[in-house]
Amino acid sequence: MKSKEIKILLSAPRGFCAGVERAIEIVEKSIQKFGAPVYVRHEIVHNKFVVDSLKKKGAIFVEELEEIEDRSRPVIFSAHGVPKKIPTDAKNYNMTYVDATCPLVSKVHREAENLNKAGYHIILIGHKNHPEVIGTMGQLPKGSIDLIQNEDEAKNYDNTYKKKIAFVTQTTLSLDDTKNIIQILKNRFKDLREPLKEDICYATTNRQMAVKKIANKCDMFFVIGSRNSSNSVRLVEVAKKSGCINSMLIHSESNIPYHDIQNSDVIGISSGASAPEILVENFINKLKNRFTITIDEVEIIKENVVFKIPNKLN
């Protein structure tokens, strides 16, 4: 007899966003068009399952162009975006490249460039060493953009350049944390220029709002996603702040805490924007093997965003 009845509140929207779907499709279409192997600079999206399945199809993942042995093969730039120097290097190597940067990240790149041309010094709110941050900072000349990661850094930021300042943000941040950082900067710099439209992307926003809606009804909350996925890690933080202290990330090496689940009546589940739905299904199936499960999907908004793939792959 199955032991325990547990209700799952399944957060929606969850999982793949349009930028991730487009990036994966670009790799698959590139393999179809150019044959295998194709190279991908950095993980196309931050998910081991996705990366492993693309490796099986003929993608070879590298961190830098210099690692590519056969430069007659095409290279794809990941969804997180790359510094300006990378396409230039690829051209110098006479390499064919396909840019899978998410259009919403490209929007931030263009925004930063335009502000720089208009004479602003740029603040980027984001996480150090995240590939998206490296890519955005790499759009501009050295010294024209500074990174702020948290409220303390915002409080202590010194506008040494004495230029007018503007800010842009990484697309996968926590809405609430970012709001606080922006407020501190606005209080300190009265003429701070902000983006016309928020930089945090629709998918990050929707997934966080969906988690907020159900977290306080849950005894435990699970986010399916990779440890290096910024938006997945933020979802765990959002669940904790929204009333479910017992929230955790389930990644490829996680042990499922069945004992704690056994003591729960209601658990919440969501997944990061780079996590395929099959990982959510697999997790739920593991729970079904041990418990009697009922599932209530709580959807806050329908997503119908689709991004076109580059013409050269059509």
- Encode pLDDT of 189-210 as tens digits: 999 999 988 999 999 999 999 9
* DSSP secondary structure string for all residues of the chain: ----EEEEEEEES-S--HHHHHHHHHHHHHHHHH-S-EEEES-SSS-HHHHHHHHHHTEEEESSGGG-S-TTS-EEE-TT---THHHHHHHHTT--EEE---HHHHHHHHHHHHHHHTT-EEEEES-TT-HHHHHHHTTS-TTSEEEE-SHHHHHH---TT-S-EEEEE-TTS-HHHHHHHHHHHHHH-TT-B--SS-SS-HHHHHHHHHHHHHHTT-SEEEEES-TT-HHHHHHHHHHHHTT-SSEEEE-TTPPP-HHHHHT-SEEEEEE-TTS-HHHHHHHHHHHHTTSEEEEEEEES-------PPPGGG-
Q: Is 44 exposed, middle or buried (0-12, 13-18, 19+ CB in 10 A)?
A: buried
Question: Which residue ranges does the chain devote to CATH 3.40.50.11270?
Answer: 18-99
Q: Kindly state the average pLDDT of the residues 58-87.
A: 97
Q: What is the pLDDT of residues 19-32, one digit of tens each?
A: 999 999 999 999 99
- The whole-model pTM stands at 0.95
pLDDT higher than 60, residue 1: no
CATH of 103-200, one of 3.40.50.300, 3.40.1010.20, 1.10.150.170, 1.10.3720.10: 3.40.1010.20
Place of tokens 């013409």: 311
CATH code, residues 5-16+202-299: 3.40.1010.20
- Does the active-site annotation cover 25? no
Place of tokens 């994966």: 24
Question: Which residue ranges does the chain devote to CATH 3.40.1010.20?
Answer: 5-16+202-299, 103-200
pLDDT at 3: 74
* CA proximity to 193, closest of 167, 161, 154: 167
| Tally of CB atoms within 10 A around 191 | 8
- Say what percent of the chain tops pLDDT 70: 99
pLDDT at 2: 54
The fold for domain 18-99 equals Rossmann fold (3.40.50)
pLDDT at 162: 76
pLDDT higher than 70, residue 246: yes
Q: What is the pLDDT of residues 77-113, one digit of tens each?
A: 999 999 999 999 999 999 999 999 999 999 999 999 9
Listing from the earlier edge strand, what are the strands of the sheet with 121-125?
A: 145-148, 121-125, 165-169
Distance CA 80, CA 293 (A): 37
Q: Which of 132, 253, 277, 303 is catalytic?
A: 132
pLDDT at 256: 97
- Let me know: does 50 contact 274? Beta carbons within 8 Å: yes
Residue 232 corresponds to which tokens in the numbers above?
A: 């997945």
| Tally of CB atoms within 10 A around 252 | 12
